[in-house]
Chains A and B, each alone.
Chain A
């Protein structure tokens, strides 16, 4: 393990049980500044629970989470967001009938300055629309003609774009993306993958949960393999092949038997 580098986000010994089911069984996690860390694991390995614990959607029974070496106790996704961790959920978490700008600012609306905002709670629609337009074009994602368009009228890739733009625009430290390319076509996936690299190049750390090995191996700097509720191995795309990663993930290969070892960080 590399202890000389400081982590952005770290977890130690996370445990979460639902009745007799153990979703997290002493899971560890390390995320370094400016990297894309992929998290892979078989269905039921506890990836989702790990991600939820890091994004505040789940409160672990035991274990610690540290952000910038400070212990944090997220009680809700709001806490994590306020601490600078943004999550793009698999089901996108957008309000379909609201427009693009509304969705970008959902839950953190900007008010008009002065008495209009303070007393009448009036939204600063113009500022939010202008900022939304700017964020989207900065990310080179959408050539928006109508930012007042309802999100439900967008294609899957465009919606994903809105969700990614929202997290990238507001994240201060970490963006967590849960299966961002799962529902997308080939070309739309390409755009989202480029977007993920853009987000990293802007200095943020990215956690990418994906089942798509080619995507993982293309964009990830390191790969965290989750198995049976804990971190089983951490590999790099240039030390292991995809089939080795899958073999480790499913238990067909002991990561320690690999030349690069179980923790090739």
Chain B
């Protein structure tokens, strides 16, 4: 056997002798000399949150120079946090979906529908507020489950599925609420728990709502799940390359289902924060929340092609939008320029992603 294999080697591998004499290790991590652009690219590739973090930092510096103390005051900072709370929570749900290379246009509709369910259950049906809250969260999970079934079992594109369910959930919301708002006073009397997210604590002049703290806790929880559990690794792998993931033994449909269900439940927690913020339950609230959540995720550096991005990027993305809106408003700039700036940020962020994704 040994004879024959040496024989074969001499017969067949003449061309390899030349290559072998060329020396050098092929499969080693060589020290390379990189240009500045390549180094920058490597850095952003390895740290997807870096770009939005730099934008946030520059924006804060710029606005504090233009506006001064009024902008940097803890109260104003906590106001920005309050303003981004709902978009931040929906952004968590949206991040999970986008990491799997999907998109969820129905997050806002799920939020409004579940807020109506929470309000109706507590006020009209007269359930204890805790049960009403849980019913809302369960309804959110069911709504996510419906999206998940359509995406996995019927193999429909997430964009189309959630475009459809967006309309369906919104119509159900109008039907169930009869387009009527539940007044804040009624909630305060019978179900103060639903207002809990709107209560504030004072900290060095900052007014933090429990809703904002709830958002931060959710970010931490999902960060843990994505980075420290097998489920998180499987979410990334499924979004990255579903074929490879299933060959590696991951049941990708199960992962997708779990992601849509969790996202639906998170939207319902967003509904709780929404009731706390506006006080009443309005079937017309949160109309722009769908697209705003996508904006936060995209500016946060998540790739729309899946498998790439971090959950804290979304928090930073939401804060970037909040800081720009707040700063421009304080500087007395017309509201239309806020929209203009946000649009610009989206395009820059997606452009960055296209560049960063290249290896």
Q: How far is the CB of B281 from chain A (nearest CB, A)?
A: 35
In Å, the complex CA distance between A151 and B16 comes to 27
Kindly state the separation between the CA atoms of A102 and B229 in the bound complex, as whole angstroms.
Answer: 11
Once the chains bind, are B359 and A152 in contact (CB under 8 Å)? Answer: yes
Segment 317-346 of B: residues with Cβ below 8 Å from A: none
- A72 interface residue (CB < 8 Å to B): no
Q: Which of A114-145 contact B (CB under 8 A)?
A: 120-123, 125, 141-145
- Take A142-B28, A145-B29, A157-B26 as given contacts and tell me if A96 and B233 are in contact as well, using a CB distance cutoff of 8 Å: no
Partner of B244, one of A91, A149, A217, A237: A91
What are the residues of chain A within 8 A of B248 when measuring CB–CB? Answer: 93-95, 106-107
What residue in chain B is nearest A236 (Cβ atoms)? B4
A229: CB under 8 A from chain B?
no
* Interchain CA distance A111-B359 in the complex, whole Å: 31
Q: Which of B216-240 contact A (CB under 8 A)?
A: 224, 228-231, 233-234, 236-237, 240
CB within 8 Å for A95 and B19 given contacts A122-B229, A158-B27: no
The answer to the question of B200 belonging to the interface, with a C-beta cut-off of 8 Å to chain A, is no
Question: Smallest Cβ distance from B192 to chain A, in angstroms?
Answer: 32
B interface list, Cβ under 8 A from A: 1, 4-5, 8-9, 12-13, 15-16, 19-20, 22, 25-29, 45-46, 224, 228-231, 233-234, 236-237, 240-241, 243-250, 307-308, 359
| Contact A107–B243 (Cβ < 8 Å) | no
State in angstroms the CA–CA spacing of A109 and B4 once bound together.
Answer: 42
Contact present for A93 and B26 (CB under 8 Å): no
Number of A-B contacts (CB under 8 A): 119
Chain-B contact segment, one of A9-17, A181-189, A249-257:
A181-189
Residues on the B chain within 8 Å of A149, using CB: 29
Residue among B16, B29, B245 with the highest chain A CB neighbour number at 10 A: B29
The answer for the CA separation of A89 and B241 in the assembled complex, in Å, is: 14
Contacts of A121 in B (CB 8 A): 228-231
0 or 1 for each of A145-169: is its CB under 8 Å from B? (1 = yes)? 1100110110101100100000000
Across-interface contacts of A87 in B (CB, < 8 A) = 247
Pull 28 A–B residue pairs with CB atoms less than 8 Å apart, ordered by A: A81-B249, A91-B243, A92-B244, A94-B248, A95-B237, A95-B240, A96-B241, A96-B307, A97-B240, A98-B237, A106-B233, A106-B237, A106-B248, A107-B234, A107-B248, A107-B250, A108-B249, A120-B229, A121-B231, A122-B229, A142-B28, A143-B25, A143-B29, A155-B27, A157-B26, A217-B8, A218-B5, A218-B12
Residues of B within 8 A of A158 (CB): 27
State whether the Cβ of A63 lies closer than 8 Å to any Cβ in chain B. no
Q: CB < 8 Å: which of A97, A122, A125, A237 contacts B4?
A: A237
A98 touches B233 (CB 8 A): yes
Is there contact, CB below 8 Å, between B240 and A190?
no
Taking a contact as CB atoms under 8 Å apart, the answer to whether B249 and A77 are in contact is yes
- Judged by a CB distance under 8 angstroms, whether A172 is at the interface is no
Q: How far is the CA of A135 from the CA of B25 in the complex (A)?
A: 19
- With A152-B359, A237-B8 in contact, is A95–B307 under 8 Å at CB? yes
A146 to B241, Cβ gap below 8 A?
A: no
Residues of A within 8 A of B244 (CB): 91-95
A191 CB within 8 Å of chain B: yes
Q: A123-B229, A142-B28, A143-B25 are in contact. Are A96 and B240 (CB under 8 A)?
A: yes
Interface pair A186/B16, CB less than 8 Å apart: yes
Question: Nearest-CB distance from B314 to chain A (Å)?
Answer: 17
Q: Which 5 A-B pairs have CB atoms at the shortest separation, nearest pair first?
A: A107-B249, A93-B247, A214-B12, A109-B230, A95-B237
Query: A78 within 8 Å of B by Cβ?
Result: yes
Looking across the interface, which residue of chain B has its beta carbon closest to that of A153?
Answer: B359
Report chain A residues within 8 Å CB of B231: 121
Which B-chain residue is minimally distant from A162 (CB atoms)? B27
Size class of A's contact patch?
A: 35 or more
State the A residues within 8 Å of B (CB): 57, 76-78, 81, 87, 89, 91-98, 102, 106-109, 111, 120-123, 125, 141-146, 149-150, 152-153, 155, 157-158, 161, 185-188, 190-191, 214, 217-218, 221, 237-238
Known: A95-B245, A98-B237, A218-B5. A191 touches B27 (CB 8 A): yes
Chain B, residue nearest A110 (CB):
B230
CB < 8 Å neighbour of B26 from A91, A187, A238? A187
| Shortest CB distance A99–B (Å) | 10
Closest Cβ neighbor of B232 among chain A residues = A123
- B26 near A95: Cβ-Cβ < 8 Å: no
Contacts of A146 on B, CB cut-off 8 Å?
29
13 further contact pairs, Cβ within 8 A, besides A122-B229, A155-B26: A87-B247, A94-B244, A95-B240, A97-B236, A98-B233, A98-B240, A102-B233, A106-B233, A106-B237, A106-B249, A143-B29, A185-B26, A218-B12
Measured between beta carbons, the chain B residues less than 8 angstroms from A93 are: 243-244, 247-248
Q: How far is the CA of A141 from the CA of B26 in the complex (A)?
A: 10
Is the Cβ of A97 less than 8 Å from the Cβ of B308? yes
Residues of B within 8 A of A238 (CB): 4
The reply to whether A186 and B29 contact each other, CB–CB distance below 8 Å, is no
Complex CA distance for A55 and B15, rounded to whole angstroms: 34
Whether A123 pairs with B8 at a CB distance below 8 angstroms is no
Query: Residues of B contacting A214 with CB < 8 Å?
Result: 12-13
